[in-house]
Structures are given as structure tokens and as C-alpha cells.
Structure 1
Amino acid sequence: MLLSDVPTPVACAILVCLFTLQHYGTNKIGCMFAPIVIVWIFFMCGSGLYNIIHWDHEIIHAISPMYMLRFMKKINLRHWKLLSSVVLCIAGSEAMFADLGHFSKKSIKITFVCLIYPVLILTYAGQTAFISKNLGTDEVFHIRESIPNKALQHVFTVLSLFASAVGSQATITAGFSIINQCQALDCFPRVEVVHTSENVRGQVYVPDANWVFMALSLAVTIGFHDISPIGKATGLAITCGMLVTTSLMSLVIALYWEKSLLISACFLLFFGAIEAMYLSTSLLNFFRGAWCLTILSLLFMTIMVSWHYGTLKKYEFDIENKVSVEWLTDYSPGLGVSRVPGIGFIYSDVVTGIPAFFTHFITNLPAFHQVLIVVSFKSLPVPCIPQSQRYLVGRVGPKEYRVYRCIVRYGYRDNVRDTDDFEDHIISSIGEFIGREEYDLESMTSPEGKMMILDSPMEDGCALIAVTEESSSTGDIQTLSENGSRRNLLDSNASSEITHSPVKKKKVRFLLPPKSPTMRISVRQELQEIIDARESGTAYFLGHSHLSARKGSNFFKKFLITSYVFLDKNCREPPVALNIPHAALLEVGTVYTL
């Protein structure tokens, strides 16, 4: 929110500086803005206490909801329009709840109840006490006039300017977090997401969104020239957000908490009626600035709906056109398919069967690697998936074909796709699965689709041993870790990423465990084949689909598909952001007609 007495060029310069600082991350920006927020809070709290004591100490009784009920009994059209301005009293404070991706729920509850809410009450109660005794002044309704000293009014102007920037910062970081979560749920196009904190997973920075936000903010600031229409749009945004939250909360009460429908309906009617009342007053200001928010909302909703529609249709097409495992194991030998040394990673959204694009590849080029690993990413509507429950590994077809499936589960706050050692984690998981399979008779005879959760590393030395090698800038090779535990490997990788040593290259090699009487010869042989295939090289198979609408499709369907194709071609990130070398990447193009 910009102050009305700040010139437009100054406001634009502040916005440019604010968005330029975003790449430093929430942690550093928060440390810089924290003193400003603390000073602002105590300044407004002290001013409010002074006005309450000096002008009217009984104003504190106005907190009672009885005054609101009396106001509603005597309401008319003029008073009804004033409710849209009342919403602005909480403008900015709701942004802290959008920061749930950056802070815990407990910290936000304590901060709001013990600090933010009391300060708001004291500030507005003090301003009301001042207004009640100084109604003859022209600018009495400006909060700056309630500051007791003229010199302090200039301090207030400077602090309010910086505080408004801090409030904008909370909204910006919340926007980054929401985009990251929507992208994980396939509701937003692929964009680059930079994790700015090594400890807090939710602190992210989205460069493309940052510059789009800056352009839109500058356009609104220059286009309106005044705080009044921006305030109208802000009021509409707040009331819409509150009403949507209440509606979704009623579903949580009924479906997730499994309470009775009566309790859910009562919650929706009570809080929804209040928020609908404020929403109706905000809609009266549609042509006074709120139209801007409506246009932006329609734009972003179109992007999200088009992307989700296209992604869903592609997935349905893949499900309908996938082939069974028997096609690869029984029919492919008739095509004269040969096995070549190495490991082939097949990335697909299909969690059963063989994806259609890979069958298209084999039909035209009858050869694939001696070891195949079908990798699928599955996002879950939870913040994080523990490392012990992330990988589901199974076997596709008979053992002698050496075809495996790995499903990687992740939450909307997890970052699993753009790690440099992702391939090493998959191979380690495959090695653990091979070692455990001999002790699980059910999984040995189970049909395709039976997966095993690798919840803990093996302790009997029946899995692969990971040897991490790092080359420094001087070219020396140093072995940092050698163990049979994938969990320890992850810890060593995490610690090596945090330290800022002059490392240029990291490579993980796998070795067979020492001979153990508990390990069967077949297990040792299969693990050796995995090691040999890894040493021979790795190839990555990605499906590159092209959507097109059928002739005779309605306008809405054509519009959604066209929008999805445009967004897909202009995505800033590939479908699988795994730092895949171009020499090892094979993209198979297919045309999907919907």
C-alpha cells in the first residue's frame, strides 16, 4: 500500500528497489526489515496509548460487538458503503497468514494474538479517540494527524513509507510460495524456483514471477496515480480471500475433520454471512478501482485452468495409450530388439505399464539399455514427505529383464527434481530393493504395481556401497564417504552442499558390499549388473507431447488447449529439471489429439 502523499516517481523507485532485493532471499531481507517493523509497531502502539489516555480512555469499550449490532440496525446505503473502508483496517495483517510456507503455524498464531492484534486495537482506538474530540479539523481522519507532535508526524511519514514496503514484502514472498505450491500440484506452468534457505524449505524465490509482479505493480501505480482506487481493489481482494477461506474451511470441517454437516453449515453461514456482507460493499466500488483486481484474477485463473486442463488431458491420454508389461517382455523380442550396455531412465507420469512414447521409440529404433528404470514423480497435497517414505521401488516384468520402477513422492514444499545427486539416490534405492526382495516372498511373486517403501537402510550389508568423490579446484580427488547406507549418503551430500569449499565436480561410484553369507549369489550378480551398467553410461528418455484439438471442438476447449500449448512452449523450466546433459538426453515426440 502506498501513501497518498508520496509522488509517483518516488513510489516507482521504491518498488523497483524492493523487487530488486528479492533474490537475496526471505531470510536476509527479513533481517534487514525486522528493525523497521519493530520500531513501527512500538511507535504506533505508543501513539495509540497516548491518544486513548489523553483524549478518551473510555473508547476502549468500543471493542464490544454491541456497537456493531447497533450500527447494523440503523444502517442505510451511505453507512453500507462505509463498510468497504472498514475492511482496510486489517489490510496488510492478513499477509502474514499467507506466509505459512515460510513460518510455522504456531509462530504466526503467537505473533498475531500477542502482538499484531493488540497493536491494531490500540492504534485504531487511539485514532478514534482523537477523531471524537477533533471533528472540526479538515484532515482529522488521516492517522497522521493523531500523532501528538509535529516532529513525530514527520517520523511517522518516513516509518509508514518503510512499513508499507515491508507489508508489500510479505505479499511478494507469499506469492512466491503460492506459485511454488501450485506448480507442485500441476496448477501452474513450470518456472524456475530458487530455494534461498538451507534450513527452511518454504523460503523460495521465483525470478520470472518477481519481474512480472514488478511490472504489474508499476503499471497499477502509474495508471491510478492515487491510493484511493488501489485501496478499493485491496478491500475487494481481502474480502474475496476471506470468503474463499471460509468456504474451504467448511469443507475441511466436513471432509477432513469428519464433523457433522450441521457444524460445517453453521460455520459457513455464520462467518460467510459476515464476509459476504463486506464483499457486497466492496463490489459497489467495482468501477472505482476494483475492476483492476478482477482483470488480474481472470488472467491468472485462465493460466491456471488452462495448464491444469492440458496437464490432466495429457495424463489421461498417457493412461489410455500405455501398454502392458507383456508388450515389452513378450512382443518386443519379435521386433528384434537388442539390449545395449548402460542404464536408461524413462521419465513418465504413468505409474503402471509402459508409457506410449517409449513404445513409439522402440518401434522405430529397436534397442534399449540392459537396465531400465521407469521414474515417475507424484506430488501429494502435503507440505513435505519424509526421506524415509519418498521412494517406492518395484520390478517390472521378470527378473532377467532388469526393468525397475521408482515412484518419487514429494510434497509442495519439497525440492527433489533439481538436485544434482538425484540419479545416485535412485540407483541406491534400486540396490536396496534388490537386497530386500529376497527376504520378501510376497514382493517376489506379486504382479506389476506392487511397490516397496524403503523406509530404512539395510544393516546387513546387502545393498550397494556408495563412494562419494569430489574434485577440488586443484584437481585432487578425495573420498569423502563410503558406506552402505543411503541415509548416510544423503547426510554427507547435504553437508557438502552447505560448506563453501572450492568443489567443482562431484561423482558417486557404487561398489559391491563385502561377501556376506546372508547374500545370495543371484542378488550379488544383479547388483554387479547395476554397477556395470552405471559405469557404461546413462541415458534419459523424455516424452515430448504436442496437444491439438480435434476438428469440431467447441470454442472453450480450443481456447484451453491453445493457451496450454502457448504456456508449454514458453515455460522457463523443462518437464524434468534434473540437470540432464544434452548428450545423454533423448526426447521422443508424440502428437495428442484431444
Structure 2
Amino acid sequence: MSTPMVALASSAEMTWRGSAMNVELVLPRSRGFGDKQPLERSRATSSVMGVKWSVIFHLAFQSTGVVYGDIGGTFALYSLLCRYVKVGLTPSQEAADRDVSTFHLELPNNSLRRASKLKSMLENSRFAKLFLLFATMLGTSMVIGDGVLTPSISVLSAVGGIKEATSVMTEERVVWISVAILVFLFTFQRFGTDKVGYTFAPILCVWFLFIAAIGIYNFFMFDPTVVKAINPQYIIEYFKRNKKDAWISLGGIVLSITGTEALFADVGHFTVRSIQVSMCTVTYPALVLAYTGQAAFLRKHHHFVSDTFFKSIPGPMYWPVFVVAVLAAIIASQAMISGTFSIIQQSLSLGCFPRVKIVHTSAKYEGQVYIPEVNYLLMLACVAVTLGFKTTAKIGNAYGIAVVFVMVLTSSFLVLIMVMIWKTHILLVISYVLVIGTVELLYLSSVLYKFDQGGYLPLAFAFFLMAIMYIWNDVYRRKYYYELDHKISPEKVKEIVVNTNFCRIPGLAIFYSELVHGIPPIFKHYVTNVPALHSVLVFVSIKSLPISKVPAEERFLFRRIQPNEVNVFRCVVRYGYTDVRNEQQEPFERTLVERLMKFMREDYMFSTMICNEKECVENDGASEVGSINADNVNNEKQLELMEKEIEVLDKAWHAGIVHLVGENEVIARKGAGIGKRILINYAYNFLRKNLRQTDKMFDIPRQRLLKVGMTYEL
């Protein structure tokens, strides 16, 4: 029920993006901290207007084959809140982040008091921040749980239709055929969304054509007067007549609208416009015709309620429709699996999920990903659910709870966004809560009624996943605060580097850390044990921004640690929550060095400009010729120093790059409670040891990798 409003969240971003056409866009220079330069108008137009219509139709065709299931929107709305309100629990915000061209902070001028008051309350309340994070985790976990339930119920219900054609097919055989199809489906995932979309889209177009044609046939054959059902009066009479049974039936009715979650579309795999085109021109009309035809069929065949779809198929069409139905079930399952990959990638960027391998499956379109570990775990869970429940009745109860829970959470986030970000009129907000909220809570109460009939399954999945996400996120934040409390000051770094006891060896050393503010304590631990430093040092921090994507030209931010002669730099590498990080290492190294050289040039140009302005003020009374000569000499000297520094960097690059990664052992400090010891010493370390490490996440070449061990007592 909340679907149209969630789609509006994405549409609103498109509106802000469009409004940027009327102003001059500015981007930070590669030095990044405060300085800006105008972006070319043509380039702005290209990035703002987005994708051409030919590409939109191209993606719309693909989305027909992929987005026939659920795409989670809770994470996108939480990220939108984090963009405007400081509700994140990790203190990694920087003013320079808002200079990213995709950050979109064009707020309305008519700021309201209630928006500021609510924003202040959220920013100053740790409980509110934790509550929002937990709500996001719950919604995310529910969507991941859907990744188990959707394949099971879709395939099992489609294959079960064969029992209508032959009595030889027993329930046990249906279950095992469904398991075989599920194993094949998950094996197929490694080929990626791009290839899957092209393979499935034609099949699903045939499926939509079939169900629309059958719906039209049944409509005219049995009872065209069912169109009167659009009159709300029949809803009121239905509830008056059936009372409690009508309320309970809502749990089954909700399954007829679950396909509309495609409109959540955080555009992880496709653009907003492409999904709007495919949904409004193909999916929605076909479904309306199908359900209308089934209603007409049931008017004459009341006893076929449980098997309406297959019973309503005209005889000659049975086997073609059966085959396409099985294929469509596979496609619906694949859509949910793709959505699961996307939302886990987003959770990973926020530090809410253990490190897993993200494989970018399309060279043409960003955001289309595959996660091997998650794929096989989902496959095992789907097989277990199918073998355990055997029928679609209990799985349907579970599926309904998962879907409605996500809807309620999404609508709740949307209310906050309407108040704080969109500055929606309070009467519209109240109307939305009363209308949409009442309907969703009514559906939620109905599906919860069947909690003991399989409805507990998604909640069990959700709490299990939330436990994993909470363990990882909690220790992740503790580690960050530990590094923040023990960070090394620039003065201390300078003291270490200029120390005559240290040997400077040729080469470039890259220290990886998640700490954005300051130098991590692992550096001091390293130099204590190894009294040698490379000629150029770069401290690289990986940071996620609450936006979908960060343009490649705005990804690197550099700072210099004084004095210039020590050749020590800090670099923040920024990613959006749908950006894929496991790039090939050689291009990453090359890009980092090239951007660092550009930073050096711009930094010297900026320094020269400041010096010239300062000398002009000081020499205001001096002769003009003398001032110009002094400026020329100073500029030549600065240019010479710049070229010398760039030469040092170039030599260090060609001498070799060494990647230094902290191999941190995390333990609970002495005197910690038993709960904290279990959380850190056992639960977190179990996850860390059995999942990917930083070097595997970034594909760092092992021959150039140096791990530095250090124990963090949290």
C-alpha cells in the first residue's frame, strides 16, 4: 500500500537532480577540502538528465525480466535521512562530503519549526539513532528473508499446477521437482543480472500476454459484471457480512499486491524511469486483467477457490501456460535474489553486514552485482524451507508477514522524510498516516493472526540476520571509536618521519584504515617494530556516503601532512552505497597516484596564489616593477619545488607500491562483562575469521601485501 509513496522518494531525488540545472554546479578540486571549481554546463547536463530514452527502454525491457518481485526501499530512505540529519552512529561526517555533485541538498526555503525541532531531537538522542538503525536492520532482514520465501513459494506453487493434469504427480514429487528447479536457479545467478534480464525478459513478456489474454477470455465468458467490484460499497458489505472472517482473509488478499514492491526501486539495478515504463505499460495492466478474469470465473465456479488460476485456463492452453508459469516463477524468484544481493551490498557499505565478496556482473550498467557466499546460503535455506513446509499455505502466511512488515517500516521512514526533508504540510502528513497507516496496520494485524501457521518463519529469519548485523555493526563502531581515541596527531607523525633513526627507502606505502579523522594507531605500532619508512606515505581511508553513487572524479580527497618535505598524505576514498568496491587493484593504484599528482599541482597553484596576494598587500607602497620581479622569482621557485615533489612521487611509484593492512585482533578489555566478552571474543571473531578480510575485499596482490598485527582491547 505504501508503494506509490516510496516510489515518490526516488522521484523526488530526480526532481532535485533536475532543479540543479538552473544553478551552477560546483565540484571540489582534487584537494577537496573547501576549494571548489565550476563544472562545465554540458557535463552537468549529461549527469543531471541521466539516461537517454533508448537506454531507458533497454533497461525497461531488462527490468521486465528481473524486477518481478521485491526490491527493498528501507535502506534508501534511511540513507536519505542520514544525508540531511546526523543520525549516523559513526562520527565520520565531513563538510566536504556535501560538495559531491550527487549529494542533493537543495532544500525548500520555507523551513518549518517542526522540521528543525524533530531534526534536533533525532541528532541529540542516541536512543533515536539506535532505533532508526534497528528499524533499518529489521526491514533489511525482512527483505533478505523474502529472498528465501519468494523462490520457495513461487516455484512450489507453479510446479504444483501439474497435479491438475495428472494424478500420477504426488505432493512428494512436486516438492523434489521444485528443489531441483531452485538449485538450478541459484546456480544460474553467477551469470549476472545483465544476462539473466535478457534471458528472462522475453519469457516474462509471454507470461504477461498469456495471463492478460486468459483474463479477458474469462471476463467475457463468465461474468463481465464483475467490474462493479471497483465500487467501495462492496468492501463495506463484505466486512459487514463476514466480520472476523473478512478480517482474517486480508492476510491472503495481501499476496495479490506483493508484486508492486518493484516500485520500491532504489535503482540499484535499473533507473527509476525504466521501472516506471515496464510497470505501467506491461506488468500492472496484465495483472489487473488476470485478476478481473479470475473474479469472473469464480462467480460461476465457487468450489474452485483454492485452484483458481489453473482451473480457469482454457483446455488447449493448459500445457503452454503451465510451462510459462514455471518459468515465470523462476523469474520472480530471481528478482528477489537480485534484490537481496543489492540490499546486502548497501548494508555492507554502512558497516551493518560482515564482509562478503561483491562481484560486478555487468560492464555496461553499474549496480548489477552477485554475492557468491550469500547465493549459496540462500539456496540452502530455500531448499530447507521447501522440504520442510512442502505446501504453499504456510509459506504464504510467512510471506505475507514479511511483505507487510517491510511496507509498514517503509511508510514510517517516509513520514520522517515528509516532515524533515520534503517539508510537507502537516495536514497532508496526518492524512497519509491516517489513511495509509490504518490500512497497513489492518493488513499487518491480519497476517499476524496466522503467526503460528508458518508466520513465525520470516521473523525467525529476521532476528537471526539482525543478530549477525548487530554484532558486526556494534563491534565495527567500537573499533572506530577506539581508533579515534588513539589516533596519532600530525605533529607526532612529523616527529616520527623526520627522526634520523628511521631509514627512508624507495617506494610508495599505502596504509589502509577506516578512520577518516586522523592517523590510525596501527601506524605507530608499525614504526615501533620496523624502523624504516618508504619515501612516500599515503594513509587511505575508505568511507561510505549516504548517497547512491559518488562520481569517479570526486572519489578521492587528499590532505597534506606538513612539512611538504616529508611526503606524507592523507586520502579519503568515498563510495556511495551502490558503488562496487572490488575494483582491480592496478587501476586503483594508478588512479590514486594520478589524482595525488593532480592534487600536488593544484595545491602549489593555490599556495602560490595566496602568497602573491599576501605579498601584494605587504608591498603596497613598493615599486610595481620590483613587486612583479619578486612574484616571478617566487613563482619559479614554487614551480621548481612542485616538479621536484612530483618527481619524487613518480620515482616512488615506479620503485614499487606496498599495501599495509591492519590485521587487528579484537578482544574485550579486562573487566568487561560477560555479555560484552561473548559479543566480541566469540560472536564477532567467529564472523571475522570465517568471512573475507580487507585484502580479499580489495583484491590486493599478495606479493605486495604487508599485514600489521595489533590487538584492540575494546
Structure 2 residue corresponding to 1:348, chosen from 509, 513, 537? 513
Q: 1:110 to 1:221 in 2, by over 3 A?
A: same
Aligned to 2:656: 537
Residues 497 and 566, structure 2, Cα contact 8 Å, conserved in 1? no
Q: Which amino acid aligns with 1:564?
A: Y
Aligned to 1:440: 606
**How far off is 1:553 after superposition?**
3.8
Q: Which amino acid aligns with 1:13?
A: A
Deviates more, 1:417-426 or 1:42-51: 417-426
Provide the C-alpha distance between the structure 1 equivalents of 2:253 and 2:306, rounded to a whole number of angstroms: 17
Structure 2 residue corresponding to 1:174, chosen from 339, 363, 378? 339
Provide the C-alpha distance between the structure 1 equivalents of 2:247 and 2:519, rounded to a whole number of angstroms: 62
Provide the C-alpha distance between the structure 2 equivalents of 1:227 and 1:186, rounded to a whole number of angstroms: 36
Q: Which amino acid aligns with 2:345?
A: N
Structure 2 residue corresponding to 1:51, chosen from 215, 218, 231? 218
Provide the C-alpha distance between the structure 2 equivalents of 1:288 and 1:40, rounded to a whole number of angstroms: 31
Q: 1:110 to 1:68 in 2, by over 3 A?
A: farther
**How far off is 1:518 after superposition?**
10
Residues 298 and 304, structure 2, Cα contact 8 Å, conserved in 1? no
How do 1:201-350 residues align onto structure 2 when only pairs under 5 Å count?
201-260=366-425, 263-330=428-495, 333=498, 336-350=501-515
Structure 1 residue corresponding to 2:687, chosen from 528, 542, 567? 567
Q: Which amino acid aligns with 1:144?
A: F
Residues 188 and 304, structure 1, Cα contact 8 Å, conserved in 2? yes
Aligned to 1:158: 323
Report SS of the residue matched to 1:393.
strand
Deviates more, 1:103-112 or 1:397-406: 103-112
Provide the C-alpha distance between the structure 2 equivalents of 1:246 and 1:71, rounded to a whole number of angstroms: 27
How do 1:506-517 residues align onto structure 2 when only pairs under 5 Å count?
none
**How far off is 1:348 after superposition?**
1.2
Report SS of the residue matched to 2:511.
strand
Residues 438 and 444, structure 1, Cα contact 8 Å, conserved in 2? no
**How far off is 1:264 after superposition?**
3.4
Aligned to 1:427: 593
Aligned to 2:98: none
- Write out per-residue CA displacement over residues 33-91 of structure 1, whole angstroms, 9 at most, x where no aligned residue: 12221111111111111122222212112123333344345552222111101011123
Q: Which amino acid aligns with 2:604?
A: E
Q: 1:296 to 1:234 in 2, by over 3 A?
A: same
- Write out per-residue CA displacement over residues 272-321 of structure 1, whole angstroms, 9 at most, x where no aligned residue: 22111111111111111122211111111111111111111111110000
How do 1:20-31 residues align onto structure 2 when only pairs under 5 Å count?
20-31=187-198
Q: 1:392 to 1:444 in 2, by over 3 A?
A: farther
**How far off is 1:394 after superposition?**
1.6
Q: 1:533 to 1:276 in 2, by over 3 A?
A: same
Provide the C-alpha distance between the structure 2 equivalents of 1:262 and 1:593, rounded to a whole number of angstroms: 51
Residues 83 and 281, structure 1, Cα contact 8 Å, conserved in 2? yes
Aligned to 1:130: 297
Provide the C-alpha distance between the structure 2 equivalents of 1:443 and 1:359, rounded to a whole number of angstroms: 36
Q: 1:391 aligned to 2:391?
A: no
Q: 1:114 aligned to 2:295?
A: no
Residues 549 and 579, structure 2, Cα contact 8 Å, conserved in 1? yes
Q: 1:443 to 1:196 in 2, by over 3 A?
A: farther
Provide the C-alpha distance between the structure 2 equivalents of 1:435 and 1:412, rounded to a whole number of angstroms: 31
Provide the C-alpha distance between the structure 2 equivalents of 1:553 and 1:114, rounded to a whole number of angstroms: 60
Provide the C-alpha distance between the structure 2 equivalents of 1:70 and 1:517, rounded to a whole number of angstroms: 89
Provide the C-alpha distance between the structure 2 equivalents of 1:545 and 1:140, rounded to a whole number of angstroms: 57
Residues 540 and 572, structure 2, Cα contact 8 Å, conserved in 1? yes
- Write out per-residue CA displacement over residues 131-174 of structure 1, whole angstroms, 9 at most, x where no aligned residue: 11222x45675222122x22223333222211111100110111
Provide the C-alpha distance between the structure 1 equivalents of 2:570 and 2:496, rounded to a whole number of angstroms: 20
**How far off is 1:198 after superposition?**
0.8
Aligned to 1:80: 247
The TM-score, its normalising length taken from structure 2, stands at: 0.70
**How far off is 1:552 after superposition?**
4.9
Aligned to 1:471: none
Provide the C-alpha distance between the structure 1 equivalents of 2:658 and 2:342, rounded to a whole number of angstroms: 33
Aligned to 1:104: 271
**How far off is 1:554 after superposition?**
4.3
Deviates more, 1:214-223 or 1:152-161: 152-161
**How far off is 1:532 after superposition?**
1.5
Q: 1:413 aligned to 2:578?
A: yes
Aligned to 1:581: 701
Report SS of the residue matched to 1:400.
helix
Deviates more, 1:417-426 or 1:36-45: 417-426
Q: Which amino acid aligns with 1:142?
A: T
Aligned to 1:474: none
Report SS of the residue matched to 1:545.
strand
Q: 1:15 aligned to 2:134?
A: no
Q: Which amino acid aligns with 1:163?
A: A
Q: Which amino acid aligns with 2:490?
A: V
Q: Which amino acid aligns with 2:421?
A: Y
Report SS of the residue matched to 2:526.
helix
Residues 161 and 310, structure 2, Cα contact 8 Å, conserved in 1? no
Provide the C-alpha distance between the structure 2 equivalents of 1:211 and 1:264, rounded to a whole number of angstroms: 43
Residues 437 and 444, structure 1, Cα contact 8 Å, conserved in 2? no
Q: 1:134 to 1:578 in 2, by over 3 A?
A: closer
Aligned to 1:512: none
- Write out per-residue CA displacement over residues 534-563 of structure 1, whole angstroms, 9 at most, x where no aligned residue: 222221221121222235544543443232
**How far off is 1:366 after superposition?**
2.1
Structure 2 residue corresponding to 1:42, chosen from 209, 223, 243? 209
Report SS of the residue matched to 1:198.
coil
Provide the C-alpha distance between the structure 2 equivalents of 1:583 and 1:444, rounded to a whole number of angstroms: 44
Q: Which amino acid aligns with 1:253?
A: M
Compare relative contact order (CA 8 Å, sep 6+) and give the higher one, 1 or 2: 2
Residues 508 and 537, structure 2, Cα contact 8 Å, conserved in 1? yes
Aligned to 1:469: none
Report the structure, 1 or 2, having the larger helix content. 2
Aligned to 2:67: none
Residues 660 and 705, structure 2, Cα contact 8 Å, conserved in 1? yes
Q: 1:519 to 1:552 in 2, by over 3 A?
A: closer
Q: What runs of 5+ residues in structure 1 fail to find an aligned partner?
A: 446-515
Report SS of the residue matched to 1:91.
helix
**How far off is 1:224 after superposition?**
0.8
Report the structure, 1 or 2, having the larger strand content. 1
Q: What runs of 5+ residues in structure 2 fail to find an aligned partner?
A: 1-153, 163-173, 612-634
The TM-score, its normalising length taken from structure 1, stands at: 0.83
Q: 1:521 aligned to 2:640?
A: yes
**How far off is 1:579 after superposition?**
3.0
Aligned to 1:142: 308
Provide the C-alpha distance between the structure 2 equivalents of 1:91 and 1:202, rounded to a whole number of angstroms: 24
**How far off is 1:114 after superposition?**
2.7
Provide the C-alpha distance between the structure 2 equivalents of 1:589 and 1:265, rounded to a whole number of angstroms: 55
Provide the C-alpha distance between the structure 2 equivalents of 1:405 and 1:196, rounded to a whole number of angstroms: 32
Provide the C-alpha distance between the structure 1 equivalents of 2:310 and 2:260, rounded to a whole number of angstroms: 19
Q: Which amino acid aligns with 2:589?
A: E
Provide the C-alpha distance between the structure 1 equivalents of 2:416 and 2:272, rounded to a whole number of angstroms: 20
How do 1:353-502 residues align onto structure 2 when only pairs under 5 Å count?
353-420=518-585, 421-441=587-607
